[in-house]
């Protein structure tokens, strides 16, 4: 059975609590800290309702089973065929990454090893940004866009619903964008493209670089 062996991934503490399940991670910034790019009401609902819901349902799915002492990555891989684990485990993990790779007063471009890896894999930062935005824009319905580490460098992909590349074996994600409508509809309506463009202004590139170094 395939095991998770990638480095990872978050600048937040490990939320595993032995047999007590998973905790809802704290954001590390206020709900209004990402305005005007992501509004406070969307952030509060997204974190305190949607992410909290995935966390609670994941804990309910694993409580009292052999799964309740597994790490989240191996849980998603080994129990991919369990709908409650796949959907809620994915929702838990995906949002944990989403929050940790955003911050106020961010945006711009990466530097150092990550910048070099982006140039090697995509030709330029602008080319990567265009390809990533296109993956996010063309994801039909609900899902995510990802920047991942693979054996050949970096790649961009998208996944439906709460799936992610760890589940599918496509790579180790270092940056993810939520394109479910609840992530942007209040502020942007059907304007997913406007939301995607605004999101680049809050990408925390030092956190993404930390993820990259942990994954290679």
Which pLDDT does position 20 carry in this prediction? 53
pLDDT band at 188 (very low <50, low <70, confident <90, very high): very high
Nearest Cα to Cα of residue 34 among 95, 104, 83: 104
* Size (the chain), residues: 216
Long-range contacts formed by 87-90: CB under 8 A, 24+ apart: 87/54, 87/57, 87/161, 87/162, 88/54, 88/55, 88/57, 88/58, 88/61, 88/162, 89/58, 89/61, 89/162, 90/161, 90/162, 90/163, 90/164, 90/167
Q: Produce one character per residue of 17-45: b if its CB has 16 or more CB atoms within 10 Å, e if not.
A: eeeebbebbebebebebbeebbbeebbeb
Beta-bridge mates of residue 12: none
pLDDT tops 60 at residue 11: no
Higher pLDDT, 20 or 119: 119
pLDDT tops 80 at residue 10: no
pLDDT band at 32 (very low <50, low <70, confident <90, very high): very high
Could you tell me the domains of the chain?
40-100 (1.10.287.990), 112-215 (3.55.40.20)
Which pLDDT does position 21 carry in this prediction? 85
Q: What separation in angstroms does the CA of 194 have from each of 52, 81, 162, 191?
A: 27, 35, 22, 5
**Token pair recorded at residue 199:** 């999101």
pLDDT tops 90 at residue 9: no
pLDDT in tens, 62-92: 999 999 989 999 999 999 999 999 999 999 9
Cα 60 → chain centroid: 22
Q: Is the dihedral of CA 201, 147, 73, 5 positive or negative?
A: negative
Cα 116 → chain centroid: 22
User: Which range has the worst mean pLDDT, 3-7, 133-137, 147-151, 188-192?
Assistant: 3-7
pLDDT tops 80 at residue 18: no
What does pLDDT average to over the chain? Answer: 91
pLDDT in tens, 134-172: 999 999 999 999 999 998 899 999 999 999 999 999 999
Higher pLDDT, 76 or 13: 76
């Amino acid at each position: 059975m395939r095991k998770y062996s990638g480095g990872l991934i978050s600048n937040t503490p490990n939320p595993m609590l032995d047999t007590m399940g998973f905790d809802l991670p704290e954001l590390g910034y206020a709900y209004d800290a990402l305005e005007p790019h992501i509004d406070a009401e969307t952030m509060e609902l997204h974190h305190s309702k949607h992410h909290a819901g995935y966390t609670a349902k994941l804990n309910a799915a694993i409580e009292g089973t052999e799964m309740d002492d597994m790490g989240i990555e191996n849980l998603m891989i080994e129990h991919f065929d369990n709908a409650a684990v796949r959907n809620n485990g994915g929702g838990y993990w995906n949002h944990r990454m989403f929050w940790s790779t955003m911050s106020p007063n961010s945006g711009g471009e990466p530097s150092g090893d990550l910048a070099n890896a982006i140039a090697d894999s995509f030709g330029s930062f602008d080319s990567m940004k265009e390809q990533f935005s296109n993956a996010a824009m063309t994801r039909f319905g609900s899902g995510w866009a990802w920047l991942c580490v693979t054996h050949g460098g970096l790649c961009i992909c998208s996944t439906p619903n709460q799936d992610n590349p760890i589940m599918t074996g496509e790579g180790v994600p270092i940056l993810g964008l939520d394109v479910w409508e609840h992530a942007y509809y209040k502020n942007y309506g059907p304007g997913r493209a406007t939301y995607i463009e605004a999101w680049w202004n809050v990408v925390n590139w030092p956190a993404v670089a930390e993820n990259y170094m942990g994954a290679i």
